[in-house]
Structure 1
């Protein structure tokens, strides 16, 4: 039986262990979307994880939702990410860039072009968002035309190519957490009457087309996707058809030969079992709030091939070493999650730091 420290192959790369740094928005990019100098240090500090999945990275101006999130569609973005991937690789790590289009989870004040957000339908999420002037209600987005949907697929394709040019081992498509791809999946956010709305097959079409386009561009073995079946947040409700929708979607994605499927799971266990039965390649499971004593449980039972962790890796650059020796974990400082400088970003102490301090 595999355990968390057993090597595993994802697509064309071998990972040193089965623990993954989950994608986490940190809002510390430069104003133009280029990763800051600190980003290279931040990710390199955590390179002992089997795989790093970066923070959500927009594929276009329209894809940005939050302040100071990174992009991967300009030459400056590529150069910034090349410093990150180089630093991670120097430490022996592997890194996938997560491609995230926020869709309706956006405010004009947060984007470079200051335009209204775009989404499957002109339905506001009904929640506020932080902006340069404080919390503001998110305005209703503009419904994308069919041609704009197809252009967005092309934007994802282009961004994936740029990520590989920047040295990434691959890309993870963000199809979870209420952002654009999940907005297409949910009837509460998608009332379209074209080929991207209505039936389960139509609402899944955008996700499948994005995955196909990226796999064609950079190879299926460099392409992955994250989903969050049944999650209800920011007005997302996949309705009674939710389980059937994901059975169809996962089945379609399985035929593409992707590197992995990443599930953020907070729903019914039977739905997770359905996914495991339909997916025949590596599966990463993320369970928000999973306690330390449950780390490795899904791998031990064979439900998952890898497990991903967020807050514990954020607060513990040496997360893997601490697990190996049973050392206590730093607690994450929630007040420093988004924006700021090195505080709460690159200054969390390691076991080596503590030993050096004791030796003084």
Structure 2
């Protein structure tokens, strides 16, 4: 069978061996204190380096950018040195790895950000959203709090943090970065109409709500080159309380904007629960028309429908999330139609090697 997932592809100046993407997945294994990437994380990513492209778990760009306990950062010298272990291990296996840069905005709690109040586009609370904290007593989930509306000075400051994080990622040895503009986090809180009630140039119209996204991307591409910057969007999810009134119009406009900024890829996170609606065909077709870079889709894909999406011209690469948790050799399993192992949900977040680096490769009997 001629599976399109195994065709090589050019991503900017990078030549990738296949079109399989390991997308970002929070695993909360960084070393404490300091949220520092470690040798265990290096082994985990190196085990999965046969993917055409790895995108790391979200890594916060600042203290204020952190939403959950034990997630790694990319703003301190120790964190950059930790990520260097990861990139070195992946490159030793001939892999390609981008860092996902993350600011959670209002999806946080003072216990995770040094006692400060979270910031967002608007002074709103993400309803029915909890985050994981480790406040020194008993780690566990707590409700998020009402955010503080960002001032113009705050906006410029955070744009600077994103720019510096992109430079830090290159210093850490990454091949590029992915801006996390999805799943209800800070940039998504500006984009989606129901999370943004600003009345200045960052709120109201679609153009205004996309302004922060555009300014962040422009700062990062100016710092490290557009051929090393990708962006993740989630047009039709309502994760962490962000909802847009006109998602097709809003996110097609986002694709037009990102095309004008020459980002190397757009990574669309589709809704992936069992009975979720399909992403509208008109959206996929229009994005393909208006955006000329590499298009990645991640959601309910397997080897067969992923290959079909590429053959149909809808996607250029396909992300496989949870299957990569328990199948470090997922690329080989898809290639040979080997069965997939199931992951242990109890060991997804936090802990040590169990349920992280101890999943075996498939051995044909």
- TM-score, normalization by structure 2: 0.93
C-alpha RMSD over aligned residues: 1.4
Matched, 1:335 2:346: yes
Q: Deviations over 1:238-260 (max 9, x none)?
A: 00x32221122211110122111
Counterpart-to-counterpart distance in 2, 1:244 and 1:35: 39
Match of 1:10 in 2: 11
Q: CA deviation at 1:193?
A: 1.4
Distance 2:291 2:212 in 1: 19
**Structure 1 residue 212 and structure 2 residue 213: aligned?**
no
Task: Check whether the contact 2:12–2:264 (CA below 8 A) recurs between aligned residues.
Answer: yes
Identify the residue that residue 312 of structure 1 maps to in structure 2. Answer: 323
Query: Residue 293 of structure 1: CA displacement?
Result: 3.9
2:311 counterpart of 1:281: no
Secondary structure at 1:339 match in 2? coil
Distance 1:291 1:274 in 2: 24
Q: 1:251-290 alignment to 2 at 5 Å?
A: 251-266=256-271, 267-287=279-299, 289-290=300-301
> 2:336, 2:186 → 1: CA distance?
41
Please state whether the residue corresponding to 2:266 is helix, strand or coil.
strand
1:85-108 Cα shifts (integer Å, max 9, x gaps) = 000000000000000111111111
Q: What is the SS of the residue equivalent to 1:97? A: strand
Stretches (4+) displaced over 4 A: none
Contact 2:295/2:317 (CA < 8 Å) preserved in 1? yes
Q: For residues 237-285 of structure 1, what are the alpha-carbon distances to aligned partners after superposition, in whole Å with 9 as ceiling and x for unaligned?
A: 100x322211222111101221111111233232222211111111111
Deviates more, 1:113-122 or 1:1-10: 1-10
- Residue matched to 1:169: 175
CA-CA distance at 1:198 after TM superposition: 1.1
- What is the CA distance between 1:296 and its match in structure 2? 1.6
* Aligned mate of 1:225, from 227, 231, 239: 231
Deviation per CA, 1:293-314: give whole Å up to 9, x if none: 4232211211111001111111
Q: 1:48 aligns with which of 50, 53, 59?
A: 50
Q: CA deviation at 1:130?
A: 2.3
Shift of 1:292: 4.8
Whole-Å Cα distance in 2 between the matches of residues 64 and 273 of structure 1?
35
Question: What is the match of residue 124 of structure 2?
Answer: 123
Spell out the pairing of 1:229-248 with structure 2 (5 A cutoff).
229-239=235-245, 241-248=246-253
Name 1:347's counterpart in structure 2.
358
Equivalenced residues, count: 351
CA distance in structure 2 between the aligned counterparts of 1:320 and 1:233, rounded to whole angstroms: 29
State how far apart, in whole Å, the 2-side matches of 1:92 and 1:310 are. Answer: 21
Residues 60-71 of structure 1 mapped to structure 2, 5 A cutoff: 60-71=62-73
CA shift, 1:41, in A, is: 0.1
Match runs of 1:89-104 below 5 Å:
89-104=91-106
The answer to whether residue 184 in structure 2 is matched with residue 178 in structure 1 is yes
Q: Distance in 1 between matches of 2:313 and 2:193?
A: 33
> Which residue number corresponds to residue 276 of structure 2?
none
Alignment gaps of 5+ in structure 1: none
Map residues 135-146 of structure 1 onto 2, 5 A cutoff. Answer: 135-146=141-152
Question: Which residue is 1:199 aligned to?
Answer: 205
Q: Structure 2 regions of 5+ residues with no counterpart?
A: 272-278
Offset at residue 119 of structure 1 (A) = 0.6
Partner Cα distance (2:302, 2:232) in 1? 22
User: Once the 2 structures are TM-superposed, how far is the Cα of residue 323 of structure 1 from its aligned partner?
Assistant: 1.4
Question: SS where residue 283 of structure 1 aligns?
Answer: strand
Using the TM superposition, give the Cα deviation of residue 115 of structure 1 relative to its aligned residue in structure 2, in angstroms: 1.3
Structure-2 residue corresponding to 1:28: 29
Q: Structure 2 CA distance, aligned partners of 1:341 and 1:176?
A: 28
Matched residues in 2 for 1:299 and 1:114: separation?
A: 47
Name the stretch that deviates more: 101-110 or 44-53: 101-110
